[in-house]
Each structure stands twice: as C-alpha cells, then as structure tokens.
C-alpha cells in the first residue's frame, strides 16, 4: 500500500483551529454529459424532472436502472459491485447487525486500531470503485456514522479524475499534470467539520504567502512543497456522533481554458459549502483559501477551479477510506477507530439523501 505522508508545518494557531494539516494521499452505467453542456450549470441544478433522484426512487428502489446513475452500492449483497477493498475482516467488513444499517439490513464497517498502527504507522481501511463511464460532472452520496469517540481520519474519502491510465494513489507532494488528472479528498477535521483537500495542476504551494515557490518570497518557508490545498466552508455545525448522517458531494470539471470548475457539499440535504466562480469571498494565503477564522479577509471572490487542461480528464474513481497515521492520532483517541457506511450512489444529477417513504 502506498501511504499518505505528513506535510511540513506551515502556520500555527488558526491553521490548526481549522484542521489545516496538509499531506498527500494513501474507486454502473449512465449517459455522459459533455463539458460544453454542463460547465455553466450550477451544481445545485435539479434534473429535468425537477426532482432529486431519491424522490424518483423511494428507499433507493430501482436506483440502478436510472440512466443518470453511474453506481449504486448498498452492501445488501456484500462487496458486489465494488472494485476492491482492504483485505481482512478486522479492517473492512460488511456487517448485518440487527438495526445497525441505515437502510436495508447490511452496511460497511471500516476499522483502524492502535495495534494496526503499531505494526504499520500508515493504515488505510478502504473500499473503492472505478467508474465504468468517466464523466465531467458528478455527484456522490453516501451515509456515514462515526462510532463513539472515533478520531477523525488523517484523510477520509476521495474522488479522483484522470485519463484512463492516470492513478492518484501515492502522489503526495506532487502537482499533477493538467492533461493527466486531479483529485480531492473530503476530510473530516478537528471539531467534526468538513474540508475539501484538493490537488490539481494550478494548485498553490505552501512555501510563499502568495502560493508560489520562489525563494526569497514574502513569508518564505525555505522549502518548496505542494500538498493539497485546503477549503474549509464557513459556518459549519459539527457532525453528529453515533448517528447516521448523509453527505452528498458535487463536482464539476472546468471547461478547458476556463476556471469554471466547482465543488459543493451537502449534509442531510442542506448546503455546507460551495466553491465556484464568484463565491465564496475570502483570502488566499499559501495553500489555503480562508473564508473564516484568524487569517480570513474579504479580499476576493473565489475564482473557480481550472482543474484540467484536457477534456480527456474525467471523474473516474471513488474511495471510501479510513486512513490514519500513528504520528497524528490523538493520544486520547480510543484504541479502535470505527466508521460505518451505507447507501452509496454516484450519478450525473443531484441525488439527495435516501428516504424510505414518499
């Protein structure tokens, strides 16, 4: 396994208040929209029906047959449909404890223990899927539960885009080529908040205040590094413990030559944050776009993402992960970190949280 490594310390204080600890990393069928028809549509746009996919499929029944759905996995038939998972029931297992699932009878349980980390200081308990049909616009919904005082992972779930041969695994501290790929993690951070952690060919370095890597620059850290750029939405409420919650990620690749790419996150069908051309307002400082906290200033509207330089770079992989490092696991964390997952859907239109009734 190729692991995710720890970054250099950039700034203290508010950086850690926002959980800005940088590092590198550790994947159906449907009709593919083209970049020209999707690039200008807001990520919160509804399908032509005017309904979320969950409204068309109560209890997710028949979700697999919807032409907008790229993948549906609910673990009712074990690992069916998934591409790979970490071996060993002590790491990743499908469970059917009575009343334990979010929907149906089965769910996924991912664990990392202190004993695992004593044997290997970089442990990833994951399951992934390569999409049969890569796309430029994507939505990914899943339900999750953090058990007890489980520590938030060093990195959490991942969405990767690329050409057919591109792989993002093991590319810590690397600026990817724009005609090859890009990726982002949705991380759970200190205080039980969410953050996007993004690698792309226009990403900023943490070396200089202006995001460049020119020796002698203002704020020069003395070392050039390119770990994921951090985007922590403002005004979040902490996610709950010992209760299922729903997350939906929306991502739009840019029109080549434009900065019209975007990212969005919903929790329990409420928007947590969206990064798109013109919003939110904030401040770039090193490899962070601040929209709140000590380093926030209303300097500019966010410019949007220029994720790629080739239309061949498309979203192609999802990974549900519980990745921990021995040297960043809090001393007061429990012996076992345990995260549950259920009711996963990937689609080209808004999905919405699973509902079992009309």
Q: Given this model, what pLDDT does residue 356 score?
A: 87
Percentage with pLDDT > 90 across the chain: 84
Q: What is the pTM of this model?
A: 0.90
**Which domains does the chain carry?**
31-347 (2.60.120.200)
More reliable by pLDDT, 44 or 332? 332
Question: In this predicted structure, what is the pLDDT of residue 358?
Answer: 64
Give dist(CA 292, CA 230) in Å, integer.
Answer: 12
Tell me the average pLDDT across 25-50. 55
Which two structure tokens, joined as six digits, stand for 249?
Answer: 């990620």
DSSP string, 116-176: HHHH-SEEEEEEEEEEEEEESEEEEEEEEEE-TT-PPPSB-EEEEEE-TT---TT-TT---
Average pLDDT on 257-281 reads 98
pLDDT surpassing 80 at residue 272: yes
For residue 11, name the pLDDT band (cuts at 50, 70, 90).
Answer: very low
170-191 burial, b at 16+ Cβ within 10 Å, e below that, comes to ebbbebbbbbbbbbbbbbbbee
**Average pLDDT for 173-186:** 98
Confidence of residue 8 (pLDDT cuts 50, 70, 90): very low
pLDDT score, position 45: 83
Rounded CA gap, 124 and 111, in Å? Answer: 9
Give the model's confidence band at 50: pLDDT under 50 very low, under 70 low, under 90 confident, else very high.
confident
> Taking residues 89-103, what's their average pLDDT?
96
* Residue 352 phi, psi (nearest 5): 85, 155
What are 195-212's pLDDT values in tens digits? 999 999 999 999 999 999
């Amino acid at each position: 396994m190729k692991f995710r490594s720890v970054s250099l310390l950039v700034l203290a204080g508010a950086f850690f208040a926002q959980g800005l600890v940088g590092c590198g990393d550790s994947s159906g069928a449907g009709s593919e929209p083209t970049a020209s028809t999707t690039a200008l549509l807001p990520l919160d746009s509804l399908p032509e029906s005017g309904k979320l996919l969950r409204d068309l499929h109560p209890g997710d029944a028949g979700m697999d047959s919807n032409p907008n759905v790229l993948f549906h996995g609910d673990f009712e038939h074990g690992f069916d449909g998934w591409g790979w998972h970490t071996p060993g029931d002590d790491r990743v297992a499908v469970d059917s404890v009575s009343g334990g699932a979010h929907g149906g009878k089965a769910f996924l349980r991912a664990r990392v223990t202190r004993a695992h980390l004593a044997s290997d200081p970089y442990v990833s308990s994951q399951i992934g899927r390569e999409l049969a049909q890569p796309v430029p616009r994507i939505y990914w919904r899943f339900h999750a539960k953090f058990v007890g005082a489980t520590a938030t992972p060093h990195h959490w779930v991942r969405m990767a885009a690329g050409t057919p041969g591109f792989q993002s695994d093991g590319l810590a501290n690397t600026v990817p080529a724009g005609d090859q790929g890009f990726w982002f993690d949705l991380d759970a951070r200190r205080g039980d908040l969410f953050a996007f952690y993004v690698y792309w060919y226009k990403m900023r370095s943490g070396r200089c205040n202006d995001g460049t890597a020119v020796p002698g620059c203002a704020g020069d850290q003395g070392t050039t590094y390119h770990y994921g750029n951090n985007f922590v939405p403002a005004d979040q409420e902490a996610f709950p413990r010992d209760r299922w919650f729903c997350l939906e990620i929306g991502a739009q690749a840019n029109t080549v030559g434009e900065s019209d790419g975007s990212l969005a996150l919903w929790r329990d069908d409420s928007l947590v944050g969206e990064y798109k051309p013109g919003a939110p307002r904030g401040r770039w400082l090193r490899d962070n776009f601040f929209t709140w906290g000590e380093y926030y200033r209303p300097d500019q509207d966010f410019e949007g993402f220029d994720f790629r330089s080739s239309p061949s770079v498309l979203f192609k992989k999802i990974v549900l992960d519980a990745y921990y490092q021995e040297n960043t696991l809090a001393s007061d964390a429990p012996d076992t970190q345990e995260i549950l997952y259920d009711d996963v859907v990937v689609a080209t239109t808004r999905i919405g949280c699973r509902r079992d009734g009309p």
